[in-house]
């Protein structure tokens, strides 16, 4: 799951900066300058300052200031980033986020994870300094070759409209209206759906998502029927929205200032950004060594446990201790993110059983481990709540928090 998200985010980022044009226009020259960075730079140092403001009717605006710095090795896709977030006027002391990547593996320092978990009412301990989200066997090699394949893929797109981009005194200026932003979204969506096989091949996912020509035609038809009629509504909903960008390319330096203003019936959103990137000769990125590894399966089950809060008994007094998937013979323990195999047997009347040894291993019960079977429901004799989530056929085991 994570590899799909990561790959799509990278693709969208490249799409968003790539105003594709092979014509001798400012947009075409801009595209060639951007390609040069991805093709020729190996080590890149970057810095960005963002100001995000959200204004809702009848409420005080919320403003957040974000500062990001980082170093990237485009050949190996090893990166190091530091993110500082300040929410103006609110008593929030968000820890600095330190992030590393190595290919498709992501590292985050423990402090912000524990901080945001506490805000959500969750408490757990991490002995390690970092958490790594590990992709495992993704079938996708994330490096410069991947970036160049995405660039080549995007370059094949033809637009039936011109970008309002000009070049004055070495500065590329781009201005977009609400209608143009919606048209650009539509063009990208149609292009990606029409060439999904190529995109999935680049991402190493061709075996997971292979579509026949008939299936692709069906997807496009559904898009035309369900999404295209809503595009005019979207243009009306964000009428008055604008995007402006000013970009300069100098020797080994790239600088950009952008502003996005979205106005909607529900409120306004504005983003101001100033960023620079420069080419470096070398970098010494040291990956963390004190690391708690979380696999894709771990992450999926953690998200599943979070989504089950409304279906089970997740309240201010109870939290998920573990989830058990009887059909897969799998358990996931929330306290320390441990996972393993467990055998669940069902009686003719639908009651579930597990071995005493499994209950001791998973929940640390003060019992002598044995192959003797016990009712899963009997965990309630040890202070737990056991819930059968019929919607997704999962057993939720909850524990009562100590107030």
- 103-115 tens-digit pLDDT: 888 999 999 989 9
Residues 91 and 213 in one domain: yes
Report yes or no on 302 lying in a domain.
no
Residues 23 and 116 in one domain: yes
Residues 274 and 313 in one domain: no
Q: What pLDDT does 357 receive?
A: 94
Q: What pLDDT does 24 receive?
A: 59
Q: What count of other Cβ atoms lies within 10 Å of the Cβ of residue 34? A: 19
Instruction: Please give the residue range of the domain that contains residue 204.
Output: 2-280
Q: What count of other Cβ atoms lies within 10 Å of the Cβ of residue 134? A: 20
Residues 88 and 132 in one domain: yes
Residues 118 and 215 in one domain: yes
Report yes or no on 209 lying in a domain.
yes
Report yes or no on 260 lying in a domain.
yes
SS3 222: helix
Choosing from 241, 261, 280, the residue where a domain stops is 280
Report yes or no on 300 lying in a domain.
no
The pairing of strands 291-295 and 130-134 is: parallel
Residues 315 and 271 in one domain: no
Q: What pLDDT does 2 receive?
A: 39
Q: What pLDDT does 27 receive?
A: 84
Residue 96 tokens, joined: 């600095």
Residues 21 and 162 in one domain: yes
Tell me the angle at which helices 144-155 and 2-17 cross, rounded to the nearest 10 degrees: 50
- C-alpha dihedral over 384, 388, 389, 391, to 10 degrees? 180
**Model-level pTM greater than 0.85?**
no
Q: Find where tokens 């019929």 sit.
A: 390
pLDDT in tens, 25-66: 888 888 889 888 988 999 999 999 999 999 998 889 999 999
Q: How many domains does the chain have?
A: 2
With a cut of 50, which residues of the chain have pLDDT below it? 1-19, 22, 308-316, 402-403
Residues 314 and 355 in one domain: yes
């Amino acid at each position: 799951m994570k590899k799909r998200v990561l790959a799509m985010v990278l693709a969208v980022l490249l799409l968003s900066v790539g105003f594709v044009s092979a014509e001798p226009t400012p947009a075409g020259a801009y595209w060639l300058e951007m390609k040069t960075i991805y093709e020729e730079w190996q080590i890149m140092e970057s810095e960005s300052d963002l100001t995000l403001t959200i204004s809702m009717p009848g409420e005080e605006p919320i403003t957040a200031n974000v500062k990001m710095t980082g170093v990237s090795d485009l050949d190996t896709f090893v990166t190091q980033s530091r993110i500082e977030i300040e929410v103006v006027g609110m008593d929030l002391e968000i820890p600095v986020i330190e992030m590393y990547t190595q290919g498709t593996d992501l590292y985050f320092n423990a402090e912000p994870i524990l901080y945001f978990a506490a805000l959500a009412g969750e408490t757990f301990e991490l002995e390690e300094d970092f958490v790594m989200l590990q992709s495992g066997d993704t079938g996708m090699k994330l490096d410069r070759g991947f970036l160049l394949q995405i660039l080549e893929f995007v370059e094949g797109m033809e637009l039936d409209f011109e970008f309002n981009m000009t070049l004055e005194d070495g500065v590329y200026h781009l201005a977009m209206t609400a209608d143009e932003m919606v048209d650009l979204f539509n063009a990208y969506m149609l292009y990606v759906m029409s060439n999904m096989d190529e995109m999935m091949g680049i991402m190493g996912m061709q075996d997971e998502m292979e579509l026949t020509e008939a299936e692709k035609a069906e997807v496009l038809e559904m898009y035309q029927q369900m999404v295209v009629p809503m595009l005019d509504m979207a243009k009306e909903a964000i009428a008055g929205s604008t995007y402006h960008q000013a970009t300069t390319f100098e020797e080994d330096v790239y600088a950009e200032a952008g502003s996005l203003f979205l106005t909607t019936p529900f409120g306004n959103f504005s983003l101001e950004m100033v960023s620079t990137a420069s080419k470096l000769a070398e970098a010494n990125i040291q990956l963390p060594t004190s690391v708690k590894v979380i696999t894709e399966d771990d992450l999926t089950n953690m998200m599943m446990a979070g989504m089950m809060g409304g279906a089970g008994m997740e309240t201010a007094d109870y939290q998920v201790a573990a989830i058990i998937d009887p059909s897969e013979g799998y358990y996931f323990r929330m306290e320390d993110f441990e996972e393993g195999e467990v055998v669940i047997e069902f009686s003719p009347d639908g009651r579930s059983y597990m071995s005493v040894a499994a209950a001791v291993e998973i929940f640390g019960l003060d019992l002598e481990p044995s192959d003797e079977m016990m009712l899963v429901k009997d965990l309630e004799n040890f202070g737990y709540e056991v819930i059968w989530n019929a919607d997704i056929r999962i057993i939720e085991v909850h524990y009562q928090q100590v107030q």
